């Protein structure tokens, strides 16, 4: 993480594959580092595309769920294991073009995305206001309230929302370094997903000097929180 390369690769993949588990993101990254959008054979077919003959699938793990009904005739699903399944990158397919990507891009700030983030925050019971902050502070999370400096970019707003979602619980005793690692990683993933440029998160993360074991233990929390934000703002993604 201190050299940023592996961590940056992982976070870039999270931005593209936020719906996958941390383990499956690693598997996609290892098998095809240049992958940009993956889906199963039949999913591609349903989208009017087909996998080219001779292409090798990317192996990931899928849960094996067994259905069961209790005495109240309520159906439940139980995880009993995992199996290998294969997905294919869009570069391995031909057919109908994918829908155009929304034009989210902006050097630092995207007002439309900001409004969607504010609406998301309010839906979580978090108020957002914009006021001048002292010193170099760009944003503050106060437990149910976020204050953003008017000069701050979109990533700062995402960072503070991540703090609210992950750290406002009074029983959360994580160190400041881990809290910042998590919040900034989520901010990077979400910003990257929506095309925000000028991101300095890897350097910011490295400053907190988190250990390898700390990074690994937080991966799925980072991925889950980023996925929750992305899916709420852009369900079609």
What percent of the chain lies above the pLDDT cut of 70? 81
Is residue 122 exposed (0-12), middle (13-18) or buried (19+ Cβ within 10 Å)?
A: exposed
Model pLDDT for residues 60-83, shown as the tens digit of each residue: 999 998 988 766 667 788 889 999
**Range in 68-77, 85-94, 127-136, 227-236 the model is least confident about:** 68-77
- Round to whole Å and give the CA distance between 40 and 47: 11
Span 123-150, average pLDDT: 90
CA 37: distance to chain centroid?
Answer: 14
Q: pTM to 2 decimals?
A: 0.66
**The predicted structure's pLDDT at residue 101:** 52
Residue 181 half-sphere exposure, CB side, CA atoms within 13 Å? Answer: 26
CA 213: distance to chain centroid?
Answer: 20
Cα separations in angstroms, 195 against 86, 190, 230:
28, 9, 12
What percent of the chain lies above the pLDDT cut of 90? 46
> For residue 152, what are the contacts with CB-CB under 8 A and spacing of at least 6?
138, 139
pLDDT at 10 over 80: no
In the chain, the N- to C-terminal Cα span, in Å, equals 28
Q: What angle do CA 192, 222, 3 make, to 5 degrees?
A: 70
Span 49-66, average pLDDT: 94
């Amino acid at each position: 993480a201190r050299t940023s390369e592996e961590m940056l690769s992982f976070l870039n993949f999270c931005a593209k594959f936020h719906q996958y588990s941390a383990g499956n993101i690693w598997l996609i990254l290892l098998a095809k580092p240049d992958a940009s959008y993956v889906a199963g054979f039949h999913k591609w077919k349903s989208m009017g595309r087909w996998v080219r003959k001779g292409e090798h699938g990317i192996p990931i793990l899928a849960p094996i769920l067994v259905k069961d009904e209790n005495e109240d005739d309520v159906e439940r699903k139980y995880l009993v294991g995992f199996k290998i399944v294969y997905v294919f990158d869009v570069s391995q397919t031909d057919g109908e073009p994918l829908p155009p990507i929304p034009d989210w891009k902006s050097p630092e700030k995207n007002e439309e995305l900001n409004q969607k983030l504010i609406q998301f925050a309010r839906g979580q019971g978090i108020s957002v206001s914009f006021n001048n902050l002292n010193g170099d502070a760009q944003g503050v999370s106060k437990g149910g309230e976020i204050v953003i400096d008017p000069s701050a970019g979109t990533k700062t707003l995402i960072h503070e929302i991540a703090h609210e979602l992950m750290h406002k619980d009074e029983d959360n005793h994580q160190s400041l370094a881990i809290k910042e690692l998590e919040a900034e990683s989520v901010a990077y993933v979400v910003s990257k997903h929506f095309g925000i440029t000028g991101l300095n998160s890897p350097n910011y993360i490295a400053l907190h000097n988190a250990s390898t074991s700390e990074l690994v233990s937080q991966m799925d929390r980072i991925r889950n929180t980023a996925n929750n934000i992305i899916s709420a703002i852009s369900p079609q993604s």
